[in-house]
């Protein structure tokens, strides 16, 4: 299997005070595939995603050691501008946080701050990305409404559109369908499967069936450690570890 | 157990009722006494004319000099304090987000400054004036009052900026925003109504304070036409008229207080209106 690796994490440890949140994470995330991270609540999935685009910087109490290589940048110890690195990664956070402005400007924001300000160009891009996130039909007549007026599920899709608009290589998605009904969830899943033509996707989910449907690679975490990782077939059909088996069977306590 | 909880519940209800009543009664009494004594003296002449000879002995004239003086002073210092304070508050909450200890030290320091009585600011302003050989003037007053309201302004804005969920900053950062873009394009929009409240609070303190302007702006019967001229202010006008033994002049003090109250009322209403208008984009959390 000659799969290109997009992100290489080696010996990543993360401490908060005396507590160790991430323990010796070693992981290779393949390019243009969907890697799903599974694991019980509180095991460090969100923290792992945040380490990837260095949002951990915001928390002085977090001590991060180890290496994360994205393409050829050692992002934890890089001299390169961190805002540029972050632009390579679109983050969909566990709870959607639209920006305090209207729907149109939410999507246009990332484009504007990177210097693209022509109205005609923005109009086209905003429409394009809202369509990509399956939100266009619902909002095309109310683009000037505040984003805060949207439902949570719509906000989640708006955040997807906004994240795609900055043209990242990688999408980090933290339970992107947690607030969606089954039909919209499925639409987003389909979208993700389409998107992996262009993007490397890392997704956290609690929905096992969803993981089965879309994952190429699966990582199972427990208490800050990676217990098992491999292709979806390997992990779902032949899990090696006892904890993984229990978790997949739903007999986990 | 049940009974004990019932008694506890009743006790706190009575307590809340009592404290609310005390506040409401006290405020009502103040406003009624200002209205009762001030309203009869609040003539058009009072607010449209400067003091004429013998005004402070009950003769004709008004307090236009003090109204204009106070407005100049409070507006200028509020604007200055805002221009200085906003970047500081944003810096504390965005740029310095990794430096919790430093930010907490700044907060502590500002809270101390907030607690310093305004007469101390007045004395400080006075010392600086003497050092530079300045006379009492509008400028010296603006300088002193600005210093005096900066802690109020910064801490007020800081408190509303603090309530912004961290997730909003994380989202903005993942879009590739810099700290300044987060500050001026996102955070300000999110808390604009809170910022307006802080501005109003500072304006209220600026226009209502007597001690900080006592040594610094001086007092005059004329409306100032330049920054280096002395300036009358409403709090001092109230003070001088209230110290008079003549009842008519004392009543004018209440009329002046009424004018001050009305100015603050207008500013409050306006700020409420504006903060409502700018609230619609706010992301609730
Ligand atoms: N800023 C923080 N301060 C203290 N502890 C934190 C902080 N952020 C995360 N933690 C702790 O780190 C651990 C991992 O949290 P994380 O949010 O990564 O879990 P998760 O796997 O995403 O869980 P969930 O599925 O519920 O979202 C938890 O025990 C959490 O309490
Ligand atoms: Mg999480």
pLDDT at B58 over 90: no
In a domain, A114, yes or no: no
DSSP B224: P
Of the candidates A55, A148, A162, which has its C-beta nearest B281's C-beta? A148
Ligand 1 atom 19: residue of nearest CA: A42
Over residues A208-235, mean pLDDT: 93
Which tokens go with A143? Answer: 């683009």
Q: Is the dihedral of CA A227, A228, A232, A238 positive or negative?
A: negative
Q: Which ligand is nearest to the CA of A47?
A: 1
CB contact under 8 A, A101 and B177: no
Question: Using one digit for the tens of pLDDT, what is the confidence trace for B203-242?
Answer: 999 999 989 999 999 899 999 999 999 999 999 999 999 9
In a domain, A238, yes or no: yes
- From B83's Cα to the closest Cα of chain A, the distance in A is 22
Distance CA B181, CA B216 (A): 39
In a domain, A131, yes or no: no
pLDDT at A229 over 90: yes
What is the pLDDT confidence band of residue B285, given thresholds at 50, 70 and 90? low
Among A96, A111, A98, CA closest to A167: A111
CA A28 / ligand 2 centre spacing (Å): 20
| Domain map (residue ranges) of chain B | 2-41, 46-281
Distance CA B155, CA A150 (A): 32
In a domain, A135, yes or no: no
Q: Which domain holds residue A77?
A: 1-88+170-178+200-253
Which tokens go with B68? Answer: 């204009």
Which tokens go with A85? Answer: 């690195």
A51 lines ligand 1 (CB under 6 A): no
What is the pLDDT confidence band of residue B52, given thresholds at 50, 70 and 90? confident
Q: Which of B143-147, B194-198, B273-277 has the lowest mean pLDDT?
A: B273-277
pLDDT at B280 over 90: no
Q: Which of A77-81, A131-135, B126-130 has the lowest mean pLDDT?
A: A77-81
User: Per the CATH hierarchy, to which homologous superfamily does domain B46-281 belong?
Assistant: MetI-like (1.10.3720.10)
Question: Using one digit for the tens of pLDDT, what is the confidence trace for A92-131?
Answer: 988 899 999 999 999 999 999 988 889 999 999 999 999 9
CB contact under 8 A, A55 and B174: yes
CATH number of A208's domain: 3.40.50.300
CA closest to A171 among chain B residues: B174
A100 lines ligand 1 (CB under 6 A): no
Which tokens go with A155? Answer: 């906000």
CB contact under 8 A, B281 and A102: yes
Among A55, A54, A63, A58, CA closest to A15: A63
- Please state, rounded to an integer, the average pLDDT across all residues of chain B: 92
- Residue-level pLDDT at A181: 84
Which strands form A19-30's sheet, in the order they lie side by side? Answer: A19-30, A5-16, A62-70, A73-74
Among B226, B270, B271, B250, CA closest to B69: B226
Of the candidates A99, A114, A159, which has its C-beta nearest B186's C-beta? A99
pLDDT at B1 over 80: no
CB contact under 8 A, B171 and A93: yes
A117's CB contacts (< 8 A; 6+ apart) are A111
Residues in A touching B177 (Cβ below 8 Å)? 83, 109, 113
CA closest to A146 among chain B residues: B281
Which tokens go with B128? Answer: 């600086």
Residues in B touching A114 (Cβ below 8 Å)? 176
- Residue-level pLDDT at A21: 95
Over residues A186-207, mean pLDDT: 91
Q: Which residue has the tokens 């260095």?
A: A54
Over residues B70-97, mean pLDDT: 96
A16 lines ligand 1 (CB under 6 A): yes
What is the pLDDT confidence band of residue A2, given thresholds at 50, 70 and 90? low
- Residue-level pLDDT at B36: 92
Of the candidates B99, B174, B189, which has its C-beta nearest A86's C-beta? B174
Q: Which of B44-48, B55-59, B102-106, B139-143 has the lowest mean pLDDT?
A: B55-59
CB B196 within 8 A of CB B125: no
φ/ψ bin of B214: left (φ > 0), alpha (ψ from -120 to 50), beta (otherwise): alpha
What is the pLDDT confidence band of residue B53, given thresholds at 50, 70 and 90? confident
Measured between alpha carbons, how far is residue A104 from residues A98, A158, B102 in Å? Answer: 11, 10, 38
Q: Which atom of ligand 1 is nearest to the CA of A224?
A: 14
Of the candidates A55, A95, A100, which has its C-beta nearest B186's C-beta? A100
Question: Using one digit for the tens of pLDDT, what is the confidence trace for B130-178?
Answer: 998 888 999 999 999 999 999 999 999 999 999 999 999 999 999 999 9
Q: Which ranges constitute the DSSP H helices of A90-196?
A: 103-113, 119-132, 136-139, 152-165, 182-195
- Residue-level pLDDT at B178: 92
- From A190's Cα to the closest Cα of chain B, the distance in A is 24
Among B198, B187, B178, B180, CA closest to B283: B187
A-interface mutation test, from B100, B281, B285, most A Cβ less than 10 A away: B281
Question: Using one digit for the tens of pLDDT, what is the confidence trace for B8-42?
Answer: 889 999 999 999 999 999 999 999 999 998 999 89
What is the pLDDT confidence band of residue B262, given thresholds at 50, 70 and 90? very high
CB A52 within 8 A of CB A68: yes
Q: Which ranges constitute the DSSP H helices of A7-63?
A: 45-52
- Residue-level pLDDT at A125: 94
Distance CA B161, CA B165 (A): 9
Q: Give, for B103, the enclosing helix (H) or strand (E).
A: helix B100-115
Q: Number of structural domains, chain A?
A: 1
Chains A and B form CB pairs within 8 A to the count of: 89
CB count within 10 Å of CB B127 equals 11
A-interface mutation test, from B160, B161, B166, B175, most A Cβ less than 10 A away: B175
pLDDT at B78 over 80: yes
Which tokens go with B28? Answer: 């009502």
CB count within 10 Å of CB A252 equals 12
Distance CA B59, CA B74 (A): 28
CB B92 within 8 A of CB B106: yes
Distance CA A128, CA A218 (A): 30
pLDDT at B279 over 80: no
- From A85's Cα to the closest Cα of chain B, the distance in A is 8
Measured between alpha carbons, how far is residue A215 from residues A96, A190, A207, A219, B120 in Å? Answer: 23, 12, 12, 10, 68
A114 lines ligand 1 (CB under 6 A): no
B-interface mutation test, from A58, A88, A100, most B Cβ less than 10 A away: A100
Q: Reduced to 3 states, what is the DSSP secondary structure of residue B24?
A: helix
Letter string b/e over residues A213-227, b meaning 16 or more CB atoms within 10 A of that residue's CB: bbbbbbbbbbebbbb
Ligand 1 atom 12: residue of nearest CA: A21
CB contact under 8 A, B172 and A99: yes
- Residue-level pLDDT at A253: 65
Measured between alpha carbons, how far is residue A216 from residues A103, A192, A196 in Å? Answer: 33, 12, 10
Question: Using one digit for the tens of pLDDT, what is the confidence trace for A45-96?
Answer: 999 999 998 999 899 899 999 999 998 888 898 777 788 889 889 999 888 9
A92 lines ligand 1 (CB under 6 A): no
């Amino acid at each position: 299997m000659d799969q290109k690796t997009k992100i290489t994490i080696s010996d990543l440890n993360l401490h908060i005070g005396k507590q160790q949140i991430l323990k010796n994470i070693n992981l290779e995330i393949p390019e243009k595939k969907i890697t799903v991270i599974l694991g019980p609540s509180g095991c460090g999935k969100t923290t792992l995603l945040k380490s990837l685009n260095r949002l951990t910087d915001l928390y002085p109490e977090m001590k991060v050691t180890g290496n994360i290589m994205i393409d050829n940048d050692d992002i934890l110890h890089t001299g390169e501008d961190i805002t540029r690195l972050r632009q390579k990664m679109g983050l969909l956070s566990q709870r959607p946080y639209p920006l305090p402005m209207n729907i149109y400007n939410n999507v246009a924001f990332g484009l504007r701050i990177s210097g693209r300000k022509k109205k005609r160009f923005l109009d086209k891009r905003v429409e394009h990305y809202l369509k990509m996130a399956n939100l266009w039909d619902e909002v095309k007549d109310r683009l000037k409404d505040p984003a805060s007026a949207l439902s949570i599920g719509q906000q989640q899709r708006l955040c997807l559109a906004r994240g795609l608009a900055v043209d990242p290589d990688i999408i980090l998605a933290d339970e992107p369908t947690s607030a969606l009904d089954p039909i919209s969830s499925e639409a987003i899943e389909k979208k993700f499967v389409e998107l992996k033509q262009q993007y490397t996707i890392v997704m956290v989910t609690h929905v096992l069936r969803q993981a089965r449907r879309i994952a190429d690679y699966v990582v199972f975490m427990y208490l800050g450690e990676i217990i098992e990782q491999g292709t979806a077939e390997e992990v779902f059909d032949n899990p090696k570890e006892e904890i993984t088996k229990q978790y997949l069977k739903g007999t986990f306590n | 157990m049940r009974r004990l909880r019932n008694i506890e519940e009743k006790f706190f209800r009575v307590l809340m009722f009592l404290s609310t009543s005390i506040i409401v009664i006290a405020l009502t009494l103040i406003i009624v006494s200002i209205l009762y004594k001030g309203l009869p003296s609040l003539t058009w002449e009072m607010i449209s004319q400067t003091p004429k000879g013998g005004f402070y002995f009950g003769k004709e004239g008004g307090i236009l000099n003090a109204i204009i003086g106070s407005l100049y002073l409070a507006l200028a210092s509020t604007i200055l304090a805002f221009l200085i304070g906003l970047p500081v508050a944003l810096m504390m909450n965005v740029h310095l987000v990794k430096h919790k200890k430093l930010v907490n030290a700044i907060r502590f320091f500002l809270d101390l400054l907030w607690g310093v009585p305004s007469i101390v600011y007045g004395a400080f302003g006075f010392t600086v004036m003497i050092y530079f050989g300045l006379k009492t003037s509008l400028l010296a007053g603006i300088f002193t009052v600005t210093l005096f309201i900066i802690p109020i302004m910064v801490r007020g804005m800081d408190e509303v900026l603090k309530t912004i969920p961290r997730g909003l900053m994380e989202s903005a950062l993942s879009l590739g925003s810099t700290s300044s873009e987060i500050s001026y394009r996102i955070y300000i929009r999110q808390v604009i109504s809170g910022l307006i409240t802080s501005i109003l609070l500072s304006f209220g303190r600026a226009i209502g304070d007597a001690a900080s302007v006592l040594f610094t702006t001086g007092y005059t019967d004329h409306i100032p036409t330049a920054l280096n001229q002395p300036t009358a202010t409403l709090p001092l006008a109230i003070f001088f008229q209230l110290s008079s033994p003549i009842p008519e002049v004392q009543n004018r003090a209440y009329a002046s207080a009424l004018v001050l109250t009305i100015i603050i009322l207008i500013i409050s209403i306006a700020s409420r209106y504006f903060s409502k208008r700018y609230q619609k984009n706010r992301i609730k959390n």
